A and B are shown apart, each in its own frame.
Chain A
Amino acid sequence: MIDIRSLQKRFANGTEVLRGIDLAIGDGEIVALIGRSGSGKTTLLRCINFLEEYDQGEIRLDGTALWYRDEPGGRRVRMREREIRMLRQQMGIVFQQFNLFPHMTALENVCLGPLEAKARPPAEVRDLAQALLSRVGLGHRTSSYPYQLSGGEQQRVAIARALAMRPKVLLLDEITSALDPELVGEVLEVIRGLVAERMMMVIVTHELSFAREVAHRVAYLSQGRIVELGAPIEIFDRPRDPTLKDFLRRIR
């Protein structure tokens, strides 16, 4: 499980992006983060795997504190790069813009992590990658380069690439926002498949209907705080916070 306690972050220009986030995500749980742009939801997601540093608070994965360590003097220091790498290997992230490596085929993109970061045997990795690509419906496109794939296909490769690390948690950062409407469905379908496997997921999304369908809990963020947190029914059908009501009204 992931345990986030009083997480705070301000950008270099002084803006407070996260003003004390508390959130616990259980094994097999799916939490959706929703909110206006600038509410801090993507920053929160990126803090979880340390693509973003944070100023205060802590994040634990299965009880182990992540990313920072308190020195005897009470000073808070970043972990060593090596430790950070090992921890990142336990998390998968999928980005809004796919971010595949352009010079590698779909198969190579998926193989890279297990091969180079985990030093697994090549034959085993190939089989795994092949299986994962088939699972996201791209078993026939393994030797295609990203530019030869549609946005939806690229995003599915990106999901396979994240899964290839056998992560404990999957972080999804607005993974359908850059897709043409007709391609959104195929990507969401892949995620639905993962729900059945009880994969722990944190999903930042604007697809409220999807959040309602797959998430066990929904967190509504506003101005760097979790303003409302609860089951999808409570958040979407019985919102209490006025800004959340307004947000839902606008988006529908």
Chain B
Amino acid sequence: MLTLLLKGALATLILAIVGIGGGTVLGVGLAGLSFGRAWPLRFLYRLYVFVTRGTPVLVLALLVFYGLPAMNFALGPYVAGCIVLVIYGSAFFAEVFRGGVLAIPAAQMESGRSLGLPPGAFFRKIIAPIAFRYALPPYVNVCVMMVKASSVLSIISVWELTLAAREIIERTLQVFTVLGTAALLYFLICFAVDRLGRRAERHLMRRGFVGERA
């Protein structure tokens, strides 16, 4: 039983990593859209975030898994599951990054402008690192949320921790032991994500963000 749950946990971990990775990349792009100069870009961003964030993961999962095949665009449950997580996460990640950029002190932006830095260098050297520092705590928060959101994918027959638990319960009827163990495994994964986040924060502290707190 435990081996099966551990395998499920591994599947969950992989789903979370894919979702977090893809969601982060898409989120960065979307956040960039939110600072677009033309208003249609900003509108598009608002619309995307509004719709995605306002849709329950479960509905999104059903939509992608059953909705797309109806349009002759069939996907296996795993691909569908990953797409769901990436889309769902991207809206939250985008907002987190947007917040990070908005938190950059105007004075530091002025410093960059006064040096006459080209846009690429401005983003790489100033905006991205400083925004990332401000975005880190809420970013970790969304990552933890993603781990748990992956459990919903069991509904569209993605085999992961929750589905594994349900299968075992059907055979053994040990509801509390099995679900308890599954919950503990979820907790451990989330705990690990949180610790990683803390480590990253401490690392950044040493690299110059300590005084910020004063």
* Chains A and B form a bound pair: yes
Decide if the interface of chain B is mainly helix, strand, loop or mixed: helix
- Residues on A with C-beta less than 8 A from B116 are 84-89, 113, 117, 165
Is residue B115 contacting chain A, with contact meaning CB distance below 8 A?
A: yes
Is residue A145 contacting chain B, with contact meaning CB distance below 8 A?
A: yes
- Residues on B with C-beta less than 8 A from A92 are 114
| Chain A residue, CB-CB nearest to B126 | A101
Cross-chain contact A103 with B208 (CB below 8 angstroms): yes
Range, interface on chain A? 20 to 34
* Interface 0/1 of A215-240, CB less than 8 Å to B: 00000000000000000000000000
**Chain A positions 81-140 with a Cβ under 8 Å from a chain B Cβ:** 81, 84-89, 91-93, 95, 97, 99-105, 112-113, 116-117
Cross-chain contact A88 with B115 (CB below 8 angstroms): yes
Is residue A49 contacting chain B, with contact meaning CB distance below 8 A?
A: yes
Number of interface residues of B (CB under 8 A): 26
Q: Tell me which of A92, A97, A113, A161 has the highest count of chain B C-beta atoms within 10 A of its own C-beta.
A: A113
Given contacts A51-B110, A101-B108, contact A117 B115 (CB under 8 A): yes
A-binding segment of B5-13, B56-64, B117-125, B182-190: B117-125
Cross-chain contact B117 with A147 (CB below 8 angstroms): no
**Chain A positions 46-95 with a Cβ under 8 Å from a chain B Cβ:** 49, 51, 81, 84-89, 91-93, 95
- Could you list 7 further interchain pairs (A-B, Cβ under 8 angstroms) beyond the known A93-B114, A117-B121? A81-B119, A88-B116, A103-B209, A105-B208, A112-B125, A113-B116, A117-B116
**Residues of A near any B CB (own CB < 8 A):** 49, 51, 81, 84-89, 91-93, 95, 97, 99-105, 112-113, 116-117, 145-147, 161, 165
